[in-house]
Chain A
């Protein structure tokens, strides 16, 4: 159980285009999902918290108009990188919170490598 998928696994796009990344919890419902960004040889940097049925909460310094998050259902959250530029190239990882009783555990998706030319 607790499987999280992400699509696409990698994407290459031209500067100025928008890219949508999907995060799905396959065998459980996730009220909360998180989006992270990871640079090479660095730790995971939380970008935003995605809650089903409400607006995402962004971390300080993350542009909400650039990184649009939509938590459309209890199993799907999407991250859209709008007007992407080379500096947006990174590894984007989502996680979904599995609630078991009163205990919550985060499980991660496989990540999406975005390259902006």
Chain B
């Protein structure tokens, strides 16, 4: 089955700097890659997603890139702010499996002001 690896497990950046989180997946059939942000004790919130027919997607300070050949995708956050501090999870799924998501282990992002 699908396996998703996420790095780094923790990331500390200075406010205003950029943060990059990387994920690799094993199943070449995967075609949907969402990113979720989870604050302590709260629900995971979808912040951006990308499907396999595009290589990059951007939404204000957040962008995701996908390299299907290498089977990896990355989350880029620019001009980080303290409120970006949270745990970020990447995930992968194939449509044929009813959108069952396989999650990465998560990255704790700390933005220092």
Chain A residues close to B by CB (< 8 Å): 4, 32, 34, 42-44, 46, 49, 51, 91, 93, 97, 103-111, 113
Given that A110-B43, A111-B43 are contacting pairs, would A105 and B49 also be in contact in the complex, using a CB cutoff of 8 Å?
Answer: yes
B101 at the interface (CB under 8 A from A): yes
Q: Is the interface of A mostly helix, strand, loop or mixed?
A: strand
Of all chain B residues, the one with the shortest Cβ separation from A109 is B43
Q: How far is the CB of B94 from chain A (nearest CB, A)?
A: 11
Of all chain A residues, the one with the shortest Cβ separation from B6 is A43
Contact B43 A106 (CB under 8 A): no
Q: List 6 A-B contacts (CB under 8 A).
A: A42-B106, A103-B51, A104-B99, A105-B49, A108-B44, A111-B43
Contact B99 A97 (CB under 8 A): yes
Q: How far is the CB of B78 from chain A (nearest CB, A)?
A: 24
